[in-house]
Amino acid sequence: MIYLELMRYKNCAMAGLAAIIGAAIAYTAAPGDPLWMGLIFITVFFITGAGNAINDYFDAGIDAVNRPDRPIPSGRIARNLAFRFSIVLFAAGIIISYFIGSNHIPFFIAAFNSFLLYFYASYLKRKILVGNLSVSYLTGSTFLFGGAAYGGKGVQVTVILFFLSMLATFAREIVKTIEDTEGDRLDGASTLPIMIGERRATYAACAFGLLAVILSPLPYLMKLFNEYYLFFVGIADVIFFFAMFMILKRNPTASSKYFKVAMFSALLAFIAGSFANKIL
């Protein structure tokens, strides 16, 4: 269905799953209503989908060069219809978030992230590093959102997942700007590779990716997860290294894909570590 494609529903599901992981970890530290987890998933799914749709609305010109197969540049959905659809999703996500948790922290995170997603797509994306940092925060904040349902203690135990996710996402965001340099330059964007050159941007991406790998054992050392996590995150780390190798070989398209696979593998490591803690 065209609307699910516009939302990029697979990314929405991954974001929702990340929020559930954050909620599951927080639940062990500060028990509350387990039914909130369903609302957490739906909220993150809707707001992530809204962000992707509004991004395609503002990026119709760039996507005509970089991603001509996407719904708007391919002519399969009208640009204004995509805009209205995104606003409905934002509103639905924010409203649902109001009923999550015994505090209003999830509601404020949902409202702030919705505003940031709109502002990112309309303005920040074209600003050097600020746009990349915004996406990195938004990706990592899914863990915080899940933890926030269970109060301040829930937020505390998910901060490290937020930080690791930010590092990995920031590395991939730089790689994506390298991949999209041609379209971004035509659109007048001020991305990192345009400002400092693709070679230096490549080194920056590898530096943040390497830092994420080095710090990946921290959830185990902090006793959030057990040995199952170490095994699966080790696999993710190998894929991260391969993604870095591909960008060093001047293949940003392949590197971006492997970064995404590595991040999904890291998510599986979080799931394995979280689930194992429940049964052991």
Res 280 pLDDT > 60: no
Contact 40, 19 (CB under 8 A): yes
pLDDT score of 26 more than 90 = no
pLDDT digits (tens, 9 = 90+) for 221-248: 988 888 889 999 999 999 999 999 999 9
| pLDDT score of 200 | 93
What pLDDT shows up at residue 145? 94
Q: State pLDDT tens for residues 36-53.
A: 889 999 999 999 999 999
Over residues 82-101, the mean pLDDT reads 96
Asked if 67 and 180 count as a contact pair (C-beta separation under 8 A), the reply is no
Q: Looking at residue 129, what is its pLDDT?
A: 82
Q: Which amino acid is at 12?
A: C
Report pLDDT for 270: 86
The answer, yes or no, to whether residue 254 has pLDDT greater than 60, is yes
What was the pLDDT predicted at 204? 94
pLDDT of residue 29: 62
Task: Indicate whether 10 pLDDT > 70.
Answer: yes
What mean pLDDT is predicted for residues 75-99?
95
Tokens coding 138: 């938004």
Instruction: Give the per-residue pLDDT at 202.
Output: 94
| Domains of the chain (ranges, CATH numbers) | 2-279 (1.10.357.140)
Q: Which of 174, 152, 179 is nearest to 66 (CA)?
A: 179
Grade residue 251 by pLDDT with cuts at 50, 70 and 90. Answer: very high
Q: Which residue has the higher pLDDT, 93 or 157?
A: 93
Residue 175 confidence (pLDDT): 93
CA-wise closest residue to 55 among 161, 150, 165, 138: 138
Q: Which of the four pLDDT bands, split at 50, 70 and 90, describes residue 140?
A: very high
193 compared with 27, residue with greater pLDDT: 193
Query: What percent of the chain has a predicted confidence (pLDDT) above 90?
Result: 59
Joined together, the tokens standing for residue 233 give 């995150």
Confidence of residue 31 (pLDDT cuts 50, 70, 90): low
Q: What is the chain's mean pLDDT, rounded?
A: 89
Helical pair 130-148 and 9-29, crossing angle rounded to 10 deg: 50
Please state the rounded mean pLDDT for residues 206-224.
93
